[in-house]
Amino acid sequence: MYDRKTEDCRVLQSIDVEDQGMGQATSQGSALRRRELLTGTACLLLGMSRAGATQILDRLPWEPNAGAPPTAARPGPWQFFTGAEARAMEAVADRIIPPDPDTPGGKDSGCAVFIDRQLAGPYGKQDGLYVRPPFQPGAKNQGAQSKDGPAEQYRSWLGALDHAVSLKFGGKVFADLPDADKDDILKGLESGSLTLVGADGKAFMEQAVKDVQMGFFADPIYGGNRDMVAWKMIGYPGARYNYLDWVDRPNERFPLLPVSIAGRAEWTPRTR
């Protein structure tokens, strides 16, 4: 998601790479060269740095555009879910956060889109996590010990959910059921009274509740919380950075509408 450009180790001081034909020119070149020649370290240090050593003299290693702004979830088709999985996920999201006259539900606020983009990205694949064997079952307080990442888990959960529903409701899938039946199914999974074949229904509900609600409240750039509906609902002003004027106002409602990292609601692109 936020792949920083990978660099070799950078030497954050004074290496004159210019004369070795390796780097960009610097105005401090000759001062640097003198110091490095004096200490006799220039060549050795240069050897270390294949991707180009950062040269720093008397200043911080400022690189233009060095930060990595977030990548907004892009509008368009599902990136991880199949059509059937997406239907199921949207239906689940709409029961976890049902629509009401003031605020849309999980489906229309984009929670399934959020989960889709997360599963298609580094989160789905457990990028950066420790995934070396052996995988041994442990106590809950030792944390997740699964070889499978969330992407594989959702695949098996959603498939097993529709399968269980079709056995029980004569070929129908979860999304086809009336709301009351949907709720019964989800409550059954949550309590463990309803089990899925080849998948842990309880774990599914726990994760789905967490992820749907996360999508609802995360910045809209990730595909959920469309038009900042969740932030408007609760009165959260979003990605503002200065409340100096608001420290001293007991019990007064903050008057401004929320802003997202991408700006105001009108400026935020639709994800689907």
Rounded alpha-carbon distances, angstroms, from residue 176 to 158, 190, 201, 217: 14, 20, 19, 27
Distance (Å, rounded) from C-alpha 223 to C-alpha 193?
Answer: 33
* Three-state secondary structure call for residue 238: strand
Which residues from 96-135 bind another protein, rule CB under 8 A? 96-98, 100, 103, 123, 126, 128-132, 134
- Which residue shows structure tokens 């409550």? 187
d(CA 94, CA 146): 28
Q: Is 193 in the site for another protein (CB under 8 A)?
A: no
Instruction: For residue 27, state whether it binds another protein (rule: CB under 8 A).
Output: no
Residues 202-216 as b/e (b if ≥16 CB within 10 A, e otherwise) read bebbebbeebbbbbb
Using CB under 8 A as the binding rule, whether residue 54 contacts another protein is answered as yes
Instruction: Please report how close the Cβ of residue 190 comes to another protein at its closest, in angstroms.
Output: 8
- Nearest approach, Cβ of residue 245 and another protein (Å): 10
Of residues 161 and 212, the one with the C-beta less far from another protein: 212
Residue that is written with structure tokens 């490095």 in the block: 36
Residue 222 near another protein by CB under 8 A: yes
Report the nearest approach of another protein to the CB of residue 223 (Å): 11
- Binder among 22, 45, 84, 151 for another protein (CB under 8 A): 45
CB-nearer residue toward another protein: 25 or 60: 60
Q: From the CA atom positions of the chain, what is the Rg in Å?
A: 26
Does residue 267 belong to the site contacting another protein (CB under 8 A)? no
Amino acid occupying residue 119 = L
Residue closer to another protein by CB (options 1, 197) is 1
- Residues 157-176 binding another protein (CB under 8 A) are none
The window from 83-91, 160-168, 195-203, 215-223 that contacts another protein (CB under 8 A) reads: 215-223
Cβ 27 vs Cβ 97: under 8 Å: no
Query: If you write DSSP's letter for every residue of 106-131 in order, what string do you get?
Result: TTTTTHHHHHHHHHHSTTTTTTTS--
* Residues from 61 through 80 that contact another protein (CB under 8 A): 61-63, 66-67, 69-70
Among 52, 74, 254, 257, binds another protein (CB under 8 A): 254
In 3D space, the residue among 91, 224, 210, 73 whose CA is nearest the CA of residue 150 turns out to be 210
Q: How far is the CB of 56 from another protein (least distance, A)?
A: 6
